[in-house]
């Protein structure tokens, strides 16, 4: 990219980031929460590593990706430009078991764990990565809850949550960190996020440290913050419309 193009993109990203931060601040204040209690995960999927570098320069330290192969390549490019080991990469998309090993090397947190088989594969990968020195901390795991009970769309049904949570909590290499949920298409947003929040309360009766609630995206973050989100995953609101793959 030319210097002018880079500067123009930097300005665009700075505007997007400021707009989202201001929405988050307003949403938090409107319900009496501290803006700093809601983390912003910038979702860079479909966008190049150069955008993540610009976002880093603008203060972002956590990025979300949804496909293993794309993430893997992007992170390598990013690390050549930004050798900061504190930057977090989060896996937020549906994950096949055969990608678990690779993801467990680079991911700080996986938001989309919805089966014991996937959790087992991640535990094996994370344990190996810890032993090899490829990672220093256990892999944080959020359980993705199905908010409409339709397992085709990903997520563990609410009635399977306890068993899966216990398995993840007991697994070597994993740290049970909380829940993630996406409201079903056409669902009432407040109802969906309220359900997720209630499941979070139930989860913490058995696992008090699992405090993360990954909820809210560009279109619905105000609703999610109102219902206790601790991490919003925002792509288009910061980076603009996604380029076609
Ligand atoms: C792509 C994606 C996002 C970001 O969505 P935007 O509408 O662009 O903010 C958030 N969460 C998940 C699981 C995603 O796949």
How many angstroms separate the alpha carbon of residue 235 from the centre of ligand 1?
A: 6
What is the per-residue pLDDT for 155? 95
Q: 99 CB under 6 A from ligand 1?
A: no
What is the per-residue pLDDT for 148? 86
Q: What is the dihedral of CA 221, 150, 125, 39, to 10 degrees?
A: 10
pLDDT tens digits, one per residue of 189-207: 999 999 999 999 999 999 9
Residue 245 has pLDDT above 70, yes or no: no
What is the per-residue pLDDT for 1? 76
Sorted by sequence, the CB contacts under 8 Å of residue 10 that are 6+ apart come out as: 54, 57, 58
pLDDT tens digits, one per residue of 208-227: 999 999 999 999 999 999 99
Q: 154 CB under 6 A from ligand 1?
A: no
What is the per-residue pLDDT for 208? 98
Q: 230 CB under 6 A from ligand 1?
A: no
Q: If you count them, how many residues does the chain have?
A: 245
* Token output for 214: 């990954």
* Token output for 160: 């399977």
Residues 43-54 have a mean pLDDT of 98
Contact 168, 119 (CB under 8 A): yes
Question: Around Cβ 60, how many Cβ atoms within 10 Å?
Answer: 19
What average pLDDT does the structure give for the chain?
Answer: 96
- Which residue, by CA, sits nearest to atom 15 of ligand 1? 93
- Which residue, by CA, sits nearest to atom 12 of ligand 1? 92
Residue 160 has pLDDT above 70, yes or no: yes
Of 96-110, 141-155, 177-191, the range with the lowest mean pLDDT is 141-155
Domains of the chain in sequence order: 3-237 (3.20.20.10)
Residue 152 has pLDDT above 80, yes or no: no
Q: 45 CB under 6 A from ligand 1?
A: yes
pLDDT tens digits, one per residue of 117-143: 999 999 999 999 999 999 999 999 999
Give percent above pLDDT 90 in the chain.
Answer: 95
- Which residue, by CA, sits nearest to atom 11 of ligand 1? 233
What is the per-residue pLDDT for 233? 98
Q: 110 CB under 6 A from ligand 1?
A: no
Residue 68 has pLDDT above 90, yes or no: yes
What is the per-residue pLDDT for 11? 98
**124: phi then psi, degrees, rounded to nearest 5:** -65, -45
Residue 88 has pLDDT above 80, yes or no: yes
Q: 93 CB under 6 A from ligand 1?
A: yes
How many angstroms separate the alpha carbon of residue 97 from the centre of ligand 1?
A: 21
14-45 in b/e form (b: 16+ CB < 10 A) is bebbeebeebbeebbeeeebeeeebbbbbbbb
């Amino acid at each position: 990219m030319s210097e002018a193009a880079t500067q123009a993109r930097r300005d665009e990203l700075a505007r997007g980031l400021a707009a989202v931060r201001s929405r988050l601040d307003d949403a938090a204040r409107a319900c009496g929460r501290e803006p700093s209690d809601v983390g912003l995960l910038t979702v860079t999927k479909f966008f190049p590593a150069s955008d993540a570098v610009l976002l880093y320069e603008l203060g972002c330290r956590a990025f979300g990706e949804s496909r293993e192969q794309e993430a893997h390549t992007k992170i390598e490019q990013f690390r050549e430009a930004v050798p900061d080991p504190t930057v977090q990469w989060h896996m937020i998309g549906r994950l096949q078991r055969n990608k678990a090993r690779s993801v467990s090397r680079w991911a700080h947190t996986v938001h989309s764990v919805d089966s014991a088989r996937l959790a087992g594969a991640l535990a094996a990968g994370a344990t190996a990565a810890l032993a090899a020195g490829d990672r220093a901390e256990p892999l944080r795991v959020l359980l993705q809850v199905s908010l409409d009970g339709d397992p085709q769309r990903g997520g563990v049904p609410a009635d399977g949550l306890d068993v899966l949570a216990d398995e993840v909590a007991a697994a070597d290499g994993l740290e049970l960190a909380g829940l993630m949920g996406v409201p079903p298409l056409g669902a009432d947003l407040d109802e969906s996020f309220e359900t997720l929040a209630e499941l979070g309360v139930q989860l913490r009766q058995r696992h008090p440290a699992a405090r993360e609630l990954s909820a809210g995206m560009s279109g619905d973050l105000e609703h999610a913050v109102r219902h206790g989100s601790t991490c919003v995953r925002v792509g288009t609101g910061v980076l603009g419309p996604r380029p076609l793959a």
